[in-house]
Structure 1
């Protein structure tokens, strides 16, 4: 039991580091305004919360091309692609199942919700046939589309809409707070050198940078 706990703890730590690398580092290093970066998070989260694993980055690119002429809708393509990683090989099936169950409830067919084991069994079958990773993904996607596709398409919508809104608000607040703290730190360092009274960065506005 202790060895299993150590393995699980190590796995969670690795996933935590990977999440930080994939999701937070791009936000911290972005040269763009908080709004520009937060819109990237929102777009990535929207596509992440749809049953379209495998083509989400392409959908981010298509969205970026569509809104590029509109300055107030522009977003970071790099950040949006990074945040599609929220749904991945490890999280895909549980999230898909939540979409399916929610769709069944919305359609009023909650008495006929298929068990979660069906999803796991189908996933295992796809790999046990000896197919490559992408072929297995295609087989699984085909199975899901045939059997539960409509329910997943309907069920993902509440999560995609809510996730988009929340991710924008939370990431915008996070970026602004982080940049304000960095600015205040620089102000204090500068003040300590010339002996002046330290100022705060409250109310500082970071304008959009219209770049790709």
Structure 2
């Protein structure tokens, strides 16, 4: 489920190929990439695409680049993202060390189970309880969101400044290749017209 059909190298090269070919200014593309990277650090699972698109729109970045930028969060980087976000958020909130992937996964699972049971309680005589959701919010979601916002902002700024010169260099090289191709075609057309 987590491994792409063609392998990670092929998936990565496809994303990079799509980013290079986007019809927009390098600055807008780099802003979009930064927005996608930033959102990858937030605990908004299932909403990363929408969040990245919204952030790119606010930053006046390329929305498609933002969607592609969310691939920064993948099965290899999520453990690092999770630990860095949780450690930072827990430290700021004074909650100690809580950065274990198992704890976060258990927190999400418990919260969703409780929400499901509470929805069911609306239609049955069972009573609703929000203890697990409250614990999840204060012990997992809040530190993850706070830490992810801080760490993600730093990584996103880095992604912007790394991707911008790469995109500019690629565009310049591509422009030179197109210019050479045009010159060769023009010279071939001139030689053909002289031969007639």
Q: TM-score, normalised by structure 1?
A: 0.62
Q: Does 1:78 align with 2:70?
A: no
| Correspondence for 2:10 | 17
Runs (5+) with no aligned partner, structure 1: 1-9, 68-72, 130-141, 196-212
Runs (5+) with no aligned partner, structure 2: 114-132, 189-196
Shift in CA distance, 145/93, structure 1 to aligned 2, threshold 3 Å: farther
- Report how many aligned residue pairs link the two structures: 162
**Higher relative contact order, structure no. (Cα contacts within 8 Å, ≥ 6 residues apart):** 1
Q: Alpha-carbon deviation of 1:117?
A: 6.1
Q: Distance in 2 between matches of 1:189 and 1:62?
A: 39
| Correspondence for 1:113 | 97
Q: Secondary structure at the match of 1:32?
A: coil
Q: Distance in 2 between matches of 1:107 and 1:58?
A: 28
Q: TM-score, normalised by structure 2?
A: 0.66
Could you tell me which of 7, 25, 28 is aligned with 1:36? 28
Q: Distance in 2 between matches of 1:117 and 1:172?
A: 33
Shift in CA distance, 57/107, structure 1 to aligned 2, threshold 3 Å: same
- The structure that has the greater radius of gyration is 2
Q: Alpha-carbon deviation of 1:174?
A: 1.0
